[in-house]
Amino acid sequence: MRAVVQRVRRARVDVAGETVGEMADGLLALVGVERGDGPSDALQLAAKLVHLRIFEDAAGRMNLSLLETGGSLGVVSQFTLLGDARKGRRPAFGEAARPEQAEPLLETLVAEARDLGAPVVTGRFQARMDVELVNEGPVTILLDTHKAF
């Protein structure tokens, strides 16, 4: 699984003009599921997200996790994170998991993050979404359970 994680002041996800997810301070994770990913990838990514120390402590150092700050986690499915644009001008998405594989793994990630104590909001799987956010810092981190980078 691959994620682009942004520390946010606020975020909102709209589908067809309806707000389906909204949050204040926390992390927004755009998540792509890769062919071959399994439940262990979802559990690993959930743990990484809620324990990632990218919030500032009293000394101004990035030393606190989402759980320690009481922030929320936003999870938005984004298969385009698996796009391969190394050849030509149109990305290939052959490494992205099929929807029937991806959706249960995203649900596992969300359930695990909630079990670990994080309030979680989500987008809507396979919907055209408008994602609005205020990136605080800015802080943006790339994660990959296969350690591709």
Options 6, 44, 69, 79, the catalytic residue: 79
Options 6, 78, 108, 122, the catalytic residue: 78
Q: Rounded to whole angstroms, how far apart are CA atoms 144 and 82? A: 11
* Phi (first) and psi of residue 85, to 5 degrees: -110, 25
55 tagged catalytic: no
Q: Rounded to whole angstroms, how far apart are CA atoms 51 and 66? A: 6
58, 62, 64, 69 alpha-carbon torsion, rounded to 10°: 70
101 tagged catalytic: no
Q: Rounded to whole angstroms, how far apart are CA atoms 130 and 12? A: 8
78 tagged catalytic: yes
Residues 94 and 88 sit within 8 Å (Cβ to Cβ): no
Options 44, 55, 69, 80, the catalytic residue: 80
Q: Rounded to whole angstroms, how far apart are CA atoms 4 and 145? A: 12
Which amino acids are annotated catalytic? 78-80
